[in-house]
Amino acid sequence: MGYSMNTIYVKNARWISITKIIDGHDGILSVANEMGNIPFDIKRVYYIYNLINHRNVMRGKHAHKSLEQVMFCLNGQCSVTLDDGNRRQNIILDQPDKGIFLGTHLWHTMQEFNSNCILLVFASQLYNEDDYIRNYDEFLETVKVPRLISHTIK
């Protein structure tokens, strides 16, 4: 635990640190505040659990048109792949007080879950399937990445 804070260089994503209170009691208390460390009005909270560590298990595989989210791993760990259509990076999510801000037009997948992994997500909007881009080519169209054209030079 604790090696996951590599620099995030893809667009529309960044680390979010939330308050961590270590006082006279046992344990640690962490606090997420709307419009504070969570940079939007929180309209919805969901969590993902009961995960299994299998190479075929992958969640996400979409981008959002207008939804913003912050995702924390409260227990265990997983890897998250972030793709802004131009650059792609893999990060490890393994600290309950260090989340990832998932902005709009960011293709993301979550995989390599520990069996005790619990993901907690704060979302800026209610669930709306129309906000999802679940096709990767369509996602690339929306971010309008100039395609690399390979030329054969004779």
Residues that bind ligand T46 (CB under 6 A): 44, 46, 48, 59-60, 69, 71, 121, 127
Structure tokens at 136: 């990767």
62 carries an active-site annotation: yes
Min. distance of Cβ 60 from ligand T46 in angstroms? 5
Residue 18 or 62: the one with the smaller Cβ distance to ligand T46 is: 62
- DSSP annotation string for 91-130: EEE--TTEEEEE-SS-EEEEE---TT-EEEEEESS---GG
Residue 29 or 57: the one with the smaller Cβ distance to ligand T46 is: 57
Q: What's the DSSP call for residue 8? A: P
Residue 95 or 107: the one with the smaller Cβ distance to ligand T46 is: 107
Torsion of CA 87, 138, 131, 37, to 10 degrees: 0
Min. distance of Cβ 71 from ligand T46 in angstroms? 6
- Residue 90, classed as helix, strand or coil, is strand
Min. distance of Cβ 31 from ligand T46 in angstroms? 21
Catalytic residue among 54, 62, 108, 151: 62
* Active-site residue set: 62
